[in-house]
Structure 1
Amino acid sequence: MYPFYRYTKSIVKAISAHKKGDTVDLTDTAKMTFRCSLTDIDNFLEMNNGRVFTLYDLGRTDFAIRSGLGKKLLENRWGLVVAGSTIQYRKRIRAFNLVTIKTRIAAIDERWIYVEQSMWVKGKPCSTALLRTGVTKGGRVIESQKVLDALGKSDWKMPPTGYVAEWIESDADRPWPPQQ
Structure 2
Amino acid sequence: MYVWARLARVMATARRRGPYLPGGESRLAFRCLPTDIDLNFHLNNARYLMMADLGRIDIFARSGLMRLYREHGWVPMMGGVQSVFVREIKLWRRFEVVSSIETWAGTEVIGRHKFILDNGETAAMVMTTAGIYDMNNRTFLPIREVVDALGVDATPRPPTEAERIFMASHSGLRKLAKAGG
Same fold (TM over 0.5): yes
Q: Does 1:131 align with 2:128?
A: yes
- Matches of 2:76 and 2:164, distance apart in 1: 22
Deviation digits for residues 64-110 of structure 1, max 9, x if unmatched? 22222233323322211111111100010112211101111111011
One-letter amino acid matched to 2:49: F
Please report how far the alpha carbon of residue 155 of structure 1 lies from its aligned counterpart in structure 2 after TM superposition. Answer: 5.3
One-letter amino acid matched to 1:127: A
One-letter amino acid matched to 2:127: L
Secondary structure of the 1:54 match is: helix
- Structure 1 partner of 2:162: 163
- Matches of 1:155 and 1:111, distance apart in 2: 15
Calculate the TM-score normalised by the size of structure 2: 0.88
Mind listing any 5+ residue stretches in structure 2 that lack a counterpart?
Answer: none
- Structure 2 partner of 1:60: 56
Q: Does 1:25 align with 2:21?
A: yes
- Matches of 2:133 and 2:171, distance apart in 1: 21
**What's the RMSD between the two structures over aligned residues?**
1.9
- Structure 2 partner of 1:12: 12
- Structure 1 partner of 2:116: 120
- Matches of 1:71 and 1:34, distance apart in 2: 27
- Matches of 2:151 and 2:115, distance apart in 1: 30
Calculate the TM-score normalised by the size of structure 1: 0.88
Mind listing any 5+ residue stretches in structure 1 that lack a counterpart?
Answer: none
Please report how far the alpha carbon of residue 179 of structure 1 lies from its aligned counterpart in structure 2 after TM superposition. Answer: 7.4
- Matches of 1:68 and 1:155, distance apart in 2: 14
One-letter amino acid matched to 1:129: V
* 2:22–2:154 Cα contact (<8 Å) kept: no
Secondary structure of the 2:30 match is: strand
Map residues 42-121 of structure 1 onto 2, 5 A cutoff: 42-121=38-117
More divergent stretch after superposition (1-10 vs 167-176): 167-176
Secondary structure of the 1:96 match is: coil
% identical equivalent positions: 22
- Matches of 1:79 and 1:173, distance apart in 2: 24
* 1:119–1:128 Cα contact (<8 Å) kept: yes
